[in-house]
Structure 1
Amino acid sequence: MSLDPSKPTSWRDFFKPFARLGYGARGMVYLVLAFFIGTAALTTGSGGDSKDAVRFITQSTASAIITPLLVVSLGGYSLWRLVQAIFDTDDHGFKPSGLAVRAGLLGSAATYVFLALYAFSLWWGNTIASGDSGGSDGFAKTAAAFIGAGPVSLILSLIFAIVGGAHIYKAISGKYRDHIQASEAVLRWIDLAATGGLIARGVIFFIIAYLLVQHGLAGEHSKASLADALNFIAGLPLGSWLLGATGAGFFLFSVYSFSEAVWRRINVEDA
């Protein structure tokens, strides 16, 4: 944020810190997920999903402070993704590949809006009724029923497949470097986190896309979440090892998210 009184302030000056907080919030969610998945790998379980991570964070001893900050941060991140998608701040353009990336950004915005609302519903439910999460569960079930609807699930499966491919391409090509402002020494560490984290997330998106098609055609709701993807991995040969590798990948993605909170170009001026 500019502190020069000679320069007029605008909404952009106030927006950047919220976008950076959003990357940090995403890193926190994936750090908790990595912990869940790593624990599940040791016990041959299935881990949890993003809602479990948010619930874990909001039920901490400092939840009265952390939860509102988490809600605002996730909201800021969602808004930044929306700005990126609509105003094309990163110059993806209107080619099929660029439109696919921008569609993925819209999907990301929707996902984190859901998580922000879910975190708020947990916080609000705990505020008005200690420990009563019925309202939040109802919200989650309503959203899951909508996502599980046949036509919606098939459309989402295509989006998840495209975004998964984009993540892996981004990891291999190093395109994420175009949006990072850091020294070469720092970038070498970011490369490690970004490559492993983006590939792990891309693979998960592919699995979710497959499950969305499989269960969407069968009319089975709420069976293509992150938790279901982890269950799928756990059921494969050497499932516990693959689950452990996924947890390590999610940990790397959390590190990558934290690094974006510090060194990512928030080029909202281009909007």
Structure 2
Amino acid sequence: MARTQVRDVLRPAGRAGFTSRGVIYLLVGYLALRIAFGDGGDQADRQGALRQIGRQPFGTALLWLLAAGLAGMALWRGAQGLLGQGEDGAGRRLAASARAVFYLVLCWGTAAFAAGSGGQGGSDQKSRDVTATVLRQPGGRWIAGAAGAALCAAGAVIAFRALRRRFLEKLETARMSRRTRTAVTGAGAGGGAARGVVYAGAGVFVITAAVRFDPRSSKGVDDTLRSFAHTPAGPWLLVATAAGLILFGLFSFASARWRRL
């Protein structure tokens, strides 16, 4: 099968993947808003989002649909890594392959949750466990510090590219009305910036854990978001970030419709 035919076959899988990503970010942003306004019962991370879905009517079926969408994203990203797209160089193909692995892990975790065997722990505990494992290795402090710095750098790049509106290059903007394009641009810029802030915040805590040689200082998405409520800006930084994550969820839905796949 030719490369073009493979991409045509996997195009619906990619669109399903962006839809699943949008659902997760919408729910994480919603849970973060609840924390900002004093209702902190659920974790504001992927695990908390899955719990929210599971509580709905036909929740298990919805979780399996979400897992299927994430599997579609993994397949589409994997095809990008193997086949490339246009004049993609080795760097972009490697990045696509890394994203494929990332979404495959998300798919596996979501499927395990739907099957009733993946509901323990969350991003915070996993982050502490991984950091503790790394710190026990020779040179673990340096490895953890480098990983935290990489997260900070990734967050800065994500936010910078979003604010520069680089994502518009990947969208079929000619098919949008002027009002729709304005809305999608705002959602992509604001949502991408918020996503970058969360990545960078998590990276700062990993660096802190490395400096203190204390894995308890490492934080996942939930604890990172909660920490925003204790900055000099008060809960409003958390509110702004949560709103941005909701925008990124909406932008993911727009990507499912208008992204060039």
TM range (shorter): 0.7 to 0.9
Higher mean alpha-carbon deviation, 42-51 vs 29-38, is at 42-51
2:185 — aligned with what? 191
TM-score (norm 2): 0.81
Alignment CA distance shift 1:192-1:90 (3 Å): farther
1:146 aligns with 2:130: yes
- Who is 1:128 aligned against? none
Instruction: Decide whether aligned partners of structure 1 residues 198 and 47 sit closer, same or farther in structure 2, where only a CA change above 3 A counts.
Output: same
Give how far 1:16 is off: 0.9
Q: For residue 195 of structure 1, give the secondary structure of its aligned residue in structure 2.
A: helix
- Give yes or no for contact 1:39–1:47 (8 Å, CA) kept in 2: no
Secondary structure of 1:137's counterpart equals coil
Mapped partners of 2:239, 2:189: distance in 1: 17
Q: Is the 8 A contact 1:55 1:119 kept in 2?
A: no
Matched, 1:76 2:43: no
8 Å CA contact retained: 2:13, 2:75 = no
For 1:147 and 1:107, how far apart are their aligned partners in 2?
A: 20
- Structure 1 regions of 5+ residues with no counterpart? 1-6, 126-132, 267-271
In the other structure, the counterpart of 1:137 is 120
1:116 aligns with 2:107: yes
What is the distance in 1 between the residues matched to 2:241 and 2:127?
Answer: 26
- Of 46, 52, 61, which residue of structure 2 is paired with 1:50? 46
Alignment match, 2:59: 63
Q: TM-score, normalised by structure 1?
A: 0.78
SS of the aligned residue for 1:48 comes to coil
Shift of 1:67: 1.5
Distance 1:142 1:206, change over 3 A: closer
CA distance in 1, matches of 2:226, 2:47: 16
Q: In structure 1, how many angstroms separate the alpha carbons of the residues matched to 2:29 and 2:225?
A: 12
| Equivalent position to 1:228, from 217, 220, 223 | 223
Which residue pairs with 2:207 in the alignment?
Answer: 213
Classify 1:85/1:227 alpha carbon distance in 2 versus 1 (closer, same or farther; 3 Å). Answer: farther
Q: Residue by residue, what CA displacement relative to the aligned partner does 1:3-54 show, whole Å, maximum 9, x if unpaired? A: xxxx9x9443331111101100010001111110111111174951122112
- Distance in 1 (alpha carbons) for counterparts of 2:76 and 2:119: 25
Distance 2:105 2:146 in 1: 18
The answer to whether the 8 A contact 2:80-2:96 is kept is: yes
Measured in 2, the distance between the counterparts of 1:86 and 1:239 equals 46
Q: In structure 2, what is the Cα distance between the partners aligned to 1:221 and 1:107?
A: 27
Q: Distance in 2 between matches of 1:206 and 1:91?
A: 30
Q: Structure 2: which amino acid aligns with 1:199?
A: A
Amino acid in structure 2 at the alignment position of 1:33? V
Distance 1:207 1:105 in 2: 24
Q: Given the alignment of the two structures, is residue 253 of structure 1 paired with residue 248 of structure 2, yes or no?
A: yes
Q: Distance in 1 between matches of 2:131 and 2:100?
A: 15
CA contact (8 A) 2:29 2:44 kept: no
1:160 is matched with which residue?
A: 151
> What one-letter code is carried by the residue in structure 2 that aligns with 1:201?
R
CA distance 1:265–1:117, shift in 2 (3 Å): same
Q: 1-side partners of 2:171 and 2:164: how far apart? A: 14
Provide, for residues 143-184 of structure 1, a one-character-per-residue CA deviation record: whole Å limited to 9, x for no partner. 863355234644432332232122122122221111000335
8 Å contact kept, 2:16–2:73: yes
Cα 1:62–1:173, aligned 2, differ >3 Å: closer, same or farther?
same
Aligned-partner residue type, residue 59 of structure 2 = S
Question: Residue type matched to 1:145 in 2?
Answer: D
Alignment of 1:241 with 2:236, yes or no, is: yes
The letter of the residue matching 2:190 is G
